[in-house]
């Protein structure tokens, strides 16, 4: 982060410190893939406070903001969650650490996807599925893998290979040999069922006659419900994962440059996503409002529900959105917020959700006011600096924006903030660089401007995602014009170190760059996994078209996430191929 001349705006925040909260009670339920977990030990790192989950998985513990809750149970991966100012309910999901594979207890050694990709060629126990790399020694479900060396050179098709190497499997062939089914027994089910196939990322229920056994690199059998959930109904009979020798799984090129993983891997996308119009979990109050014949009836419906949902901030955000955007009655919409301001004040998550909606409507002055309030509540959160600086840009206060970016850099240098991973700092650097590149003539001399612009070139579209609730877990999916996809998983199971880094520094954002080299429609989907509570998560994406050019334009979209464990389409854009900025 480069230094910049600080302007007087920083004096507004100079006296703000890192606030401490009084003790409060955090409660919730601990569960795994099969239900509630009893006897989970909940402790506070560095303190003596402890709690134990009861027979229904419920617990409560006295804690305060900044504490790290540690969840431990024999046989499960330990889980750490940082308590925040808004933390009250934490419904936690834990995952298995060890399990018995054919009589042998295996201790899990978790590695990230890039490490597994690099190790793939030398470790015969790693398989590449449509959902990433799996290590048979480290998955939370039973995974049987065989390597090419174990394949009988005389096998004439996949069924012959499977039957000779995996016990408990039945092969059914028609009399004319034109139809073949491989039958598996899925854990917890009765009888055998036809298996599905994951072939270099292509998922199908049809037996792959086209596969030459001598072109098989690796095969795995997934018969555990824990491993089949991502396959949906295609996994009802188990999944046979097949990696061929001709598939390419290299994560980076010889120069260490980022490769478009959505194009390198044979991860063909099938349109099994839920469209926004097909989402049927719309709350009843919105259904009622959408039936209103006129403003008078809409207000009557709103008032009737306002009593029932008096403590639910999201009800009033939905009502605001309805009256502002559908009814076009901005005055009544603003009254809704002002009359229920107590639900937003002193709650950064609720405030940010409201700011998102203001930004999407182009009401940048109102959003800026909100972000100032959030900054005062969370001066120790890195995200507060990014949000406020970007908000200043939206109201053309470029000097103030540059000063906030610079203030963040100063806090890093003085060790008030610590970003060892440099994930967030890279985003901040890009924001400052973009500001100086586009507005530098208004802020600096020509020579001074040259010193600030980073040596980077990018021609395309930039996507910046942000979520108001830092507990939100989800998986993003990017589908390129060639109908290949790339997944970015944001959850404690697949990306625990990333989530930990976010909590440590205080940010909830990620950026993706879409190169303009290949034109076509890009699709962005999301599978929302929840936020450890019963409230929805407000999710924002800033889309920068022609990023970094004089023609740069920004569009803000906001989504209310509540439907869980379903792949939903967020939006489409027209551009090129995605490269993940890490």
Measure the CA–CA gap between 374 and 345, rounded to whole angstroms: 9
Q: Which pLDDT does position 310 carry in this prediction?
A: 94
Q: Which pLDDT does position 123 carry in this prediction?
A: 87
Structure tokens at 154: 């005389």
Q: Which pLDDT does position 100 carry in this prediction?
A: 42
Q: Which pLDDT does position 420 carry in this prediction?
A: 81
Structure tokens at 185: 């027994």
Q: Which pLDDT does position 12 carry in this prediction?
A: 46
- Model pTM? 0.68
Q: Which pLDDT does position 517 carry in this prediction?
A: 63
CATH class of 24-93: mainly beta
Chunk the chain into consecutive blocks of 10 residues (it has 582) and report each block's average pLDDT, rounded to whole numbers. 49 44 88 84 93 94 93 89 92 72 41 80 88 82 84 81 79 82 75 87 87 90 82 85 78 51 51 62 87 94 94 96 94 96 96 97 97 95 96 95 91 86 88 87 65 59 94 90 82 87 93 75 91 94 90 94 88 62 36
Is 152 within 8 Å of 164 (Cβ atoms)?
yes
Q: How many angstroms separate the Cα of 248 from the Cα of each of 12, 216, 218, 219?
A: 54, 13, 13, 16
* pLDDT tens sequence across 151-176: 877 777 888 888 877 766 888 888 77
Rg (CA), the chain: 26
Is 209 within 8 Å of 123 (Cβ atoms)?
no
SS3 string of 243-284? EECCCCCCCECCCCCECCHHHHCCCECCCCCECHHHCCCCCH
Q: How many CA atoms lie within 13 A of 173 on its CB side?
A: 10
Look at residues 300, 295, 290, 336 and name the one whose alpha carbon lies nearest to residue 315: 336
Q: How many angstroms separate the Cα of 574 from the Cα of each of 64, 518, 543, 548?
A: 46, 10, 11, 17
Q: Which pLDDT does position 582 carry in this prediction?
A: 34
Structure tokens at 520: 């076509």
3-state helix, strand and coil shares in percent for the chain, rounded to the nearest 5: 30, 30, 40
Q: Which pLDDT does position 456 carry in this prediction?
A: 55
Measure the CA–CA gap between 241 and 135, rounded to whole angstroms: 13
Any idea where the domains of the chain sit in the sequence?
Answer: 24-93, 110-264
Measure the CA–CA gap between 231 and 225, rounded to whole angstroms: 10
Measure the CA–CA gap between 119 and 135, rounded to whole angstroms: 10
Q: Which pLDDT does position 567 carry in this prediction?
A: 86
Q: Is 325 helix (H, G, I), strand (E, B) or coil?
A: helix
Q: How many angstroms separate the Cα of 356 from the Cα of each of 267, 370, 465, 555?
A: 33, 10, 11, 12
The secondary structure of residue 485, as a DSSP letter, is: E
Second-level CATH architecture of 110-264: Beta Complex (2.170)
Q: Which pLDDT does position 556 carry in this prediction?
A: 96
Mark 351-366 as b/e (b = at least 16 C-beta within 10 Å). Answer: bbbbbbbbbbbebbeb
Q: Which pLDDT does position 445 carry in this prediction?
A: 59
């Amino acid at each position: 982060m480069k230094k910049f001349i600080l302007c007087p705006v920083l004096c507004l925040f100079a006296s703000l410190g890192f606030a401490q909260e009084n003790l409060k009670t955090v409660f919730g339920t601990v569960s795994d893939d099969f239900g509630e977990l009893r006897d989970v030990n909940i402790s506070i790192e560095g303190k003596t406070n402890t709690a134990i989950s009861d027979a229904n998985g419920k617990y409560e513990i006295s804690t305060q903001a900044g504490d790290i809750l540690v969840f431990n149970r024999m046989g499960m991966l330990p889980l750490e969650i940082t308590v925040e100012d808004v933390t009250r309910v934490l419904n936690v999901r834990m995952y298995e650490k060890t399990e018995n594979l054919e009589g042998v207890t295996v201790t899990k050694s978790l590695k990230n996807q890039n490490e597994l990709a690099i190790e793939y060629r030398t470790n015969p126990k790693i398989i590449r599925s449509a959902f990433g790399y799996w290590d048979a020694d480290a998955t939370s479900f039973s995974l049987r893998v065989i390597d090419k060396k174990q394949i009988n050179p005389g096998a004439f098709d996949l069924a012959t290979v499977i039957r000779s190497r995996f016990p408990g499997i039945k092969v059914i062939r028609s009399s004319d040999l034109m139809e073949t089914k491989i039958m598996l027994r899925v854990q917890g089910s009765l009888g055998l069922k036809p298996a599905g196939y994951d072939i270099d990322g292509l998922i199908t229920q049809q037996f792959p006659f086209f596969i030459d056994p001598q072109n098989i690199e690796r095969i795995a059998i997934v018969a555990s419900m824990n491993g089949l959930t991502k396959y949906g109904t295609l996994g009802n009979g188990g999944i046979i994962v097949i990696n061929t020798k001709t598939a390419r799984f290299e994560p980076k090129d010889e120069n260490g440059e980022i490769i478009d993983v959505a194009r390198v891997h044979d991860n063909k996308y099938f349109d099994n996503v839920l469209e926004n119009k097909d989402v049927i979990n719309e709350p009843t109050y919105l259904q009622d409002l959408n039936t209103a014949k006129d403003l008078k009836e809409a207000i009557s419906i709103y008032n009737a529900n306002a009593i029932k949902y008096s403590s639910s901030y999201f009800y009033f955000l939905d009502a605001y959105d309805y009256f502002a955007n559908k009814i076009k009655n901005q005055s009544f919409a603003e009254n809704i917020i002002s009359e229920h301001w107590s639900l937003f004040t002193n709650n950064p998550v609720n405030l940010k959700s409201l700011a998102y909606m203001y930004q999407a409507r182009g009401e940048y002055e109102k959003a800026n006011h909100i972000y100032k309030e959030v900054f005062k509540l969370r001066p120790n959160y890195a995200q507060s600096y990014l949000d406020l600086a970007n908000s200043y840009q939206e109201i053309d206060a470029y000097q103030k924006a540059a000063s906030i970016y610079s203030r963040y850099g100063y806090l890093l240098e003085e060790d008030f903030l610590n970003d060892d991973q440099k994930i967030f700092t890279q985003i901040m650097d890009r924001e400052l660089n973009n500001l100086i590149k586009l507005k530098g003539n208004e802020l600096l001399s020509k020579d001074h401007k040259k010193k600030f612009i980073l040596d980077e070139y990018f021609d395309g579209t930039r996507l910046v995602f942000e979520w108001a609730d830092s507990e939100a877990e989800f998986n993003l999916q990017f589908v390129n014009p060639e109908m290949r996809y790339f997944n970015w998983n944001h959850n404690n199971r697949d990306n625990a170190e990333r989530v930990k880094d976010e909590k440590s520094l205080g940010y909830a954002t990620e950026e993706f760059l879409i190169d303009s080299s290949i034109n076509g429609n890009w699709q962005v989907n999301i599978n929302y996994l929840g936020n450890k509570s019963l409230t929805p998560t407000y999710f924002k994406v800033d889309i920068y078209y022609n990023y970094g050019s004089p023609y740069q334009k920004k569009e803000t979209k906001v989504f209310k996430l509540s439907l869980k464990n379903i792949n939903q389409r967020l939006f489409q854009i027209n551009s090129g191929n995605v490269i993940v900025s890490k």
